[in-house]
Every structure is written in structure tokens, then in C-alpha cells.
């Protein structure tokens, strides 16, 4: 009897995968998106936890400064600088967490599109039992029973039923993953999304500044560029050193030029050359402001370092 890939143990005869190359690519893309959502969700939680710790430290230092002022003692300038640094660090980490969370939400939308693109097998003859194994007809069947049904379908030559069973297994997997991700996103929205950039409830006047709005637009642009590059290069965005260090490929699209040069794959460098190059936020801002001298200076710095 064959087994599906997600069954344990990881040995023995495995059920054959789809013969259609487009379907294999769809499944691979869905798997990459699920992995990416998991990574970015962990980064969201980690950055939010660090931001909380930085706020606690800043509040502790500010309280100590206030006590010294109330007692008439001179202010410790080093403590004042440390409090300011902690506050700046907390703000930076909160913005980073908001960026990762935004990426998870966008990936969730893309994942839904990829998942919904799964083909629906059509019975090829009147003798097929494919209709017995649709997600709704097989709702009472366990995963093991579906695997037994798949073995029967291959042995009996009912190709349409076999394809329908595989599609039903994928349907269950995708919905389980979707529910998990939805729970994670909802939990993050309740506990971690404290940035005024993404949560209107914590904004004072419910309005973004021009720079905050520009940063949101830049983040959306970077996401689009990164997603297109990943599709065009088939996920080959990092060189061996970048892969070994677990570098986040999307950060190379807007971070420092020397870091992009250090970790980008040749395919990604070629992709940048053919698609207008990298656009860090400083370059984006100069374009928004229409500042020609700043634009030229940023481009010279960007491509001079990356040359």
C-alpha cells in the first residue's frame, strides 16, 4: 500500500505525485508560501517581544530620572541618553514587527489564490468512483481511509478517482494550514499589532504622516518586487552564504547595498539589472519628493557600492 507524503514514518512506498508539471509547480509554490508565512510570523512575534522589553527598559529609566528630579538631584545624562535609545529601539522594533505582520497577511492572500487554483478532476468514464471521494462526499473518511482508497484506485485503474483523492488530500492540507495561519494572524492582531502604521485604534488623530504613508507604499512596492523576483528566479534569490546564514531575501530589496551584494544570488543580481535595480527607501523618498540631486546622490551611492 502506498502512503501520502505527510504520513509517518518517512519510509516505504509513496503514492505517485501528479504528472502535470503545472500542478507540481503549484504545490511547490504553495509549500514555499506556507514556509515563508511561518518564518515571518516568528519574526513578527520576536520583534514585538523585543519592542516590549525595550519599552519596559525605557519606562524604568524614565521613572528613575523623574525620581532624581523630584529629589533635587542632578540628572544623569548617561541615563537620559540610555532612555532615549531604548525608546528609539522600541519604535524601530514595533515598525519592524508591523512590516513582518503585513507580509504575513499579503502572503495569506497569495496563498489563497494558489490554493484555489488546484484543478478539479473530471470523471473520465462512467465507471469511475471519483464522485465518492470529493472533499464533501469523503468528509466522514479518515486520512488513513483515503490512503486505502488511493491504493484501491491505482490497483483498479480508476485514474479519475485517484486524482480526486489526491485533490481531496491537498484540500484538507490547505484548509488546515489556512486555519492555522488565520488563527496566528488573528492572535497577532489582538496582541502584537500596536503600531500606529497598521492599527488605526492606536493612532491619535487617525492619520498617517506623509513619511509614514510613503513607507507603507514602499513596503508594498518591495513586496511586489520580491514576489515577482521569486517567481522569475524560481526561488533562487540567495547565494550559498545567504542560505547558510538564513538571510531574509526580502530584506535585500531595500536594505544596505553592500549586504545585498554579499548575499544575493547571481540570478537575483541579473533580475535587478533587468528590472530597474534595487529601490531602497532613501531612493524612494527622493523620487516622491522630486529631489533630483538627492536622487542622483542616492543612486550613485547605491550602485557604486553594489558595482
Which one is predicted more confidently, 70 or 121? 70
**How far is it, in rounded angstroms, from Cα 268 to Cα 264?**
6
Closest CA to 169 of 125, 140, 127, 138: 138
- Ordered by start, the domain boundaries in the chain are 16-47+100-207, 208-307
Task: Between 133 and 291, name the one with better pLDDT.
Answer: 133
Please tell me the distance from the alpha carbon of residue 265 to that of residue 258, in angstroms, as a whole number. 13
Q: Is the pLDDT of residue 1 over 50?
A: no
Distance between CA atoms of 90 and 84, rounded to whole angstroms? 10
- Tens-digit pLDDT profile for residues 192-208: 455 554 555 555 555 66
250-297 tens-digit pLDDT: 889 987 888 898 999 999 999 998 888 888 888 888 777 776 666 566
Q: C-alpha grid cell for residue 182?
A: 488565520
The answer to which of 143-152, 165-174, 184-193 has the lowest mean pLDDT is 184-193
Would you say residue 305 has pLDDT above 50?
no
Name the one residue in this structure whose C-alpha cell is 504545490: 27
pLDDT at 235: 81
**Average pLDDT over every residue of 5-10:** 50
Q: Does position 245 have pLDDT exceeding 70, yes or no? A: yes
Predicted local confidence at residue 182, as pLDDT: 55
Percentage of the chain exceeding pLDDT 70: 71
Query: What is the distance between the alpha carbons of residues 193 and 202, in angstroms, rounded to a whole number?
Result: 9
Lowest mean pLDDT among 94-108, 244-258, 288-302: 288-302
**The dihedral of CA 174, 176, 180, 186: what is its sign?**
positive
**Residue 307 reports pLDDT greater than 50:** no
- State residue 21 phi and psi, 5-degree precision: -65, -35
- Model-level pTM? 0.39
User: Would you say residue 78 has pLDDT above 60?
Assistant: yes
In 3D space, the residue among 277, 267, 261, 300 whose CA is nearest the CA of residue 221 turns out to be 277
pLDDT score, position 24: 72
With a cut of 70, say whether residue 123 has pLDDT above it.
no
pLDDT, position 164: 86
Question: What rounded mean pLDDT belongs to the chain?
Answer: 74
pLDDT at 220 over 90: no
What's the confidence (pLDDT) of residue 239?
92
Amino acid at each position: 500500500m502506498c502512503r501520502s507524503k505527510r504520513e509517518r514514518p518517512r519510509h516505504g512506498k509513496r503514492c505517485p505525485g501528479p504528472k502535470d508539471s503545472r500542478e507540481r509547480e503549484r504545490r511547490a509554490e504553495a509549500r514555499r508560501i506556507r514556509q515563508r508565512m511561518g518564518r515571518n510570523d516568528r519574526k513578527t512575534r520576536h520583534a514585538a517581544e523585543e519592542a516590549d522589553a525595550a519599552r519596559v527598559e525605557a519606562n524604568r529609566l524614565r521613572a528613575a530620572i523623574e525620581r532624581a528630579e523630584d529629589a533635587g538631584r542632578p540628572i544623569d545624562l548617561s541615563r537620559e541618553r540610555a532612555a532615549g535609545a531604548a525608546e528609539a529601539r522600541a519604535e524601530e522594533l514595533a515598525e519592524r514587527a508591523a512590516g513582518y505582520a503585513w507580509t504575513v497577511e499579503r502572503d495569506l492572500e497569495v496563498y489563497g489564490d494558489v490554493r484555489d487554483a488546484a484543478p478539479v478532476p473530471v470523471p473520465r468514464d462512467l465507471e469511475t468512483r471519483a464522485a465518492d471521494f470529493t472533499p464533501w462526499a469523503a468528509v466522514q473518511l479518515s486520512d488513513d481511509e483515503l490512503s486505502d482508497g488511493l491504493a484501491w484506485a491505482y490497483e483498479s485503474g480508476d485514474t479519475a478517482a485517484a486524482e480526486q483523492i489526491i485533490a481531496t488530500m491537498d484540500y484538507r492540507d490547505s484548509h488546515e494550514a489556512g486555519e492555522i495561519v488565520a488563527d496566528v494572524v488573528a492572535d497577532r492582531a489582538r496582541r502584537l499589532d500596536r503600531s500606529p502604521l497598521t492599527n488605526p485604534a492606536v493612532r491619535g488623530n487617525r492619520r498617517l504622516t506623509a513619511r509614514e504613508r510613503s513607507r507603507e507604499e514602499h513596503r508594498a512596492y518591495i513586496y511586489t518586487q520580491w514576489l515577482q523576483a521569486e517567481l522569475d528566479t524560481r526561488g533562487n534569490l540567495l547565494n550559498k552564504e545567504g542560505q547558510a546564514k538564513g538571510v531574509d531575501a526580502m530584506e535585500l530589496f531595500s536594505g544596505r547595498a553592500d549586504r545585498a551584494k554579499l548575499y544575493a544570488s547571481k540570478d537575483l543580481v541579473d533580475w535587478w539589472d533587468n528590472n530597474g535595480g534595487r529601490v531602497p527607501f532613501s531612493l524612494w523618498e527622493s523620487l516622491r519628493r522630486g529631489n533630483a540631486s538627492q536622487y542622483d546622490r542616492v543612486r550613485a551611492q547605491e550602485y557604486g557600492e553594489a558595482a
